[in-house]
């Protein structure tokens, strides 16, 4: 799967986001090492803390389907009806959740469009991340 195809999947699921409070829609498409794509969108809640980010929604769908290893995630976000001037980066909680399954090598694609995107390693976004290796006996 190409980066653009993964970005396209993230844009498609972003349209399903439930954002009655922030009006900031986010879509994420997670590519497993087996080649499957799992999409997720953000789901807000009036109590705010139960809100689910798009990245963790995609991760939950993938893990629930039995996937545990991932190559890349594309993330897109913007206010309703607008194009962001800045890329949408995963929050700290999502970075940690992705680190658990992707480690520092996971490719994170931050896209404003299919043509305008940057690709980073998760380790660049979460240096010295805490993961399974930290608990090895």
pTM above 0.85, yes or no: yes
Per-10-residue mean pLDDT, the chain, length 137: 96 97 97 98 94 97 97 95 89 96 97 95 96 88
C-alpha Rg value of the chain to the nearest Å: 14
Per the listing, tokens 């290796």 go with 133
Q: What is the model's pLDDT at position 23?
A: 95
Quickly list DSSP for 7-44: HHHHHHHHTT-B-TTT-EEEEEEEEETTS-EEEEE-B-
Which positions are annotated as active-site residues?
55
- Quote the Cα angle for 97-106-127, to 5°: 70
């Amino acid at each position: 799967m190409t980066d653009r195809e993964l970005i396209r999947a993230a844009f498609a699921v972003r349209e399903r986001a439930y954002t009655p409070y922030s009006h900031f829609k986010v879509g994420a498409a997670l590519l497993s090492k087996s080649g499957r794509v799992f999409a997720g969108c953000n789901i807000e809640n009036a109590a705010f803390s139960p809100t689910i980010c798009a990245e963790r929604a995609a991760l939950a769908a993938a893990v629930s389907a039995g996937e545990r290893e991932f190559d890349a995630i594309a993330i897109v976000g913007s206010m309703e009806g607008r194009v962001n001037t800045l890329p949408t980066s995963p929050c700290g909680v999502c970075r940690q959740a992705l680190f658990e399954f992707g480690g520092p090598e996971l490719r994170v694609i931050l896209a404003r469009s299919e043509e305008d995107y940057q690709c980073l390693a998760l380790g660049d976004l979460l240096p010295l991340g805490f993961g399974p290796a930290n608990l090895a006996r």
